[in-house]
Homo-oligomer: A and B are copies of this chain.
Amino acid sequence: PEGWTDLDTKAVDTIRVLAADAVQKVGNGHPGTAISLAPVAYLLFQKVMRHNPAEPHWPGRDRFVLSCGHSSISLYLQLFMGGWGLELEDIEALRTWGSKTPGHPEYGHTDGVEITTGPLGQGIANAVGMAMAARRERGLLDPDAPEGESIFDHQIYCLASDGDIEEGISSEASSLAATQRLGNLTLIYDRNFISIEGHTDIALTEDTAARYAAYGWHVTTVDWLEGGEYRENVKALLDAMDEGRKVTDRPTFIQLRTIIAWPSPTKQNTEGAHGSALGTDEVAALKKVLGFDPDKTFDVDPAVLEHTRGLRDRGAAAQAAWQQGFDTWAETNAEGKALYERMVDDELTPGWEEALPTWDADPKGVATRAASGAVLTALAPRLPELWGGSADLASSNNTTPKGEPSFLPTDRQSEEFKGGPYGRVLHFGIREHAMGAILNGIKVHGGTRPYGGTFLTFSDYMRGAVRLSALMRVPVTYVWTHDSIGLGEDGPTHQPIEHVSSLRLIPGLDVVRPADANETAASWAAILKNKDRPAGLILSRQNLPIVPRGTDGYATTEGVARGAYVLKDFGTADPDKTVIIVATGSEVQLAVGAAEALAGEGVAVRVVSMPCREWFDEQDDAYRESVIPAAVKARVSVEAGVSGSWRDIVGDAGRIVSINHYGASADGALLFKEFGFTTETVAAAARESL
Chain A interface (Cβ < 8 Å from any Cβ of B): 26, 28-29, 69-70, 95-99, 102-104, 106, 116-121, 162-163, 166-172, 175-176, 178-179, 195-208, 210-211, 213-216, 271, 390, 392-396, 406, 408, 412-417, 427-431, 433-434, 457-458, 460-461, 463-464, 467-468, 471, 488-494, 497-498, 501-502, 505-508, 642-645, 647-648, 651-652, 660-662, 664-667, 670-671, 674
Contact = CB atoms under 8 A, between A and B. Distances in A.
A651 B633 CA distance: 13
A648 B433 CA distance: 33
Closest 10 CB pairs of A and B: A168-B168, A203-B429, A102-B665, A171-B171, A198-B416, A118-B493, A97-B666, A210-B214, A199-B414, A163-B430
A502 B509 CA distance: 14
Given A166-B172, A431-B166, A489-B103, A392 B210 contact: no
Contacts of A416: 197-199, 202, 271
Contacts of A651: 652
Nearest to A674: B97
Contacts of A471: 492-493, 662
Contacts of A664: 97, 102
A119 B461 contact: yes
18 contacts: A96-B665, A103-B489, A117-B493, A163-B430, A166-B172, A166-B430, A168-B433, A175-B206, A178-B205, A197-B395, A197-B427, A199-B415, A203-B392, A206-B216, A461-B463, A463-B463, A643-B648, A647-B647
Contacts of A647: 645, 647-648
A597 B188 CA distance: 56
B103 A494 contact: yes
A461 B460 CA distance: 8
B28 A489 contact: yes
Contacts of A199: 414-416
Given A179-B204, A202-B416, 13 more contacts: A96-B666, A97-B670, A103-B665, A166-B430, A167-B172, A168-B170, A168-B171, A196-B396, A197-B393, A197-B417, A197-B427, A471-B662, A507-B642
Contact of A506 (B169, B207, B433, B498): B498
Main secondary structure of the interface of A (DSSP, over half): loop
A131 to B, nearest CB: 16
Given A197-B394, A664-B97, A211 B215 contact: yes
Contacts of A178: 205-206
B104 A203 contact: no
Contact of A406 (B166, B202, B505): B202
B202 A417 contact: yes
B204 A429 contact: yes
A665 B202 contact: no
A664 B106 CA distance: 10
Given A202-B414, A493-B119, A434 B505 contact: no
A232 to B, nearest CB: 25
Nearest to A389: B197
Given A210-B214, A471-B662, A493 B430 contact: no
Contacts of A508: 661-662
A489 B116 contact: no
Given A178-B206, A216-B206, A168 B167 contact: yes
A505 B507 contact: no
A653 to B, nearest CB: 8
A166 B428 CA distance: 10
A168 B169 contact: yes
A498 to B, nearest CB: 4
Contacts of A493: 69, 104, 116-119, 468, 471
A120 to B, nearest CB: 6
A416 B198 CA distance: 6
Nearest to A617: B660
A215 B497 CA distance: 37
Contacts of A172: 166-168, 171
Contacts of A98: 666
A471 B603 CA distance: 40
Contacts of A417: 197-198, 202
B206 A392 contact: no
Contacts of A166: 172, 175, 392, 429-431
A417 B201 CA distance: 10
Contacts of A121: 168, 430
Nearest to A163: B430
A667 B98 CA distance: 11
